[in-house]
Structure formats: structure tokens, C-alpha cells
Amino acid sequence: MSDNDHLANLSDGAGCAEVWEHLSEQRDSGASEAAEDDESDAETADAETTDADAADAEETDAEQEAAAVPCP
């Protein structure tokens, strides 16, 4: 990969404004892809947390029920 690969889609003689616009578009599309990846990761983490919380709640309920039973 060359240092200039990110400029391959520009026409010869492109000025500062064209280069700036091209780089901004690349940055914006890269940021939206990264945001989609972050959202997907967050949804996975939320699902894992919810499963763990449910398991903890079941354990807590069982412990409370066991504690409510008087010893003979």
C-alpha cells in the first residue's frame, strides 16, 4: 500500500478544495462504518450483560427462598 493510495480517486490537477472534500468524504464514510461496528459491539455486550444479570437474579431468588425456610 502506497502513501498516496487514499488519493487514487482524485483527478489530475485537483486543487485544495477537491482534495479536502475527497478526504472529508472518506473520513465520514469511515466514521459511519466504525459507528455501526461500535453499535453492533454494544448490542452484543448488552445481551451478554442481560443474560448474566438474569442468572444472578435467579441465584439471589434461590438464596432468599432458602433463607426464608426455618431450620428444624
**Is 19 in a helix, a strand, or coil?**
helix
Residues 6+ apart with CB under 8 A from 6: 23, 26
* 10-38-20 Cα angle (round to 5): 20
Question: Residue written as cell 472518506?
Answer: 26
Q: What dihedral do alpha carbons 50, 55, 59, 64 form, nearest 10°? A: 40
Q: Taking the complete model, does pTM exceed 0.85, yes or no?
A: no
| Model pLDDT, residue 30 | 81
Q: What percent of the chain has pLDDT over 90?
A: 1
Sequence spans of domains, the chain: 11-63
**Mean pLDDT, the chain, whole residue set:** 75
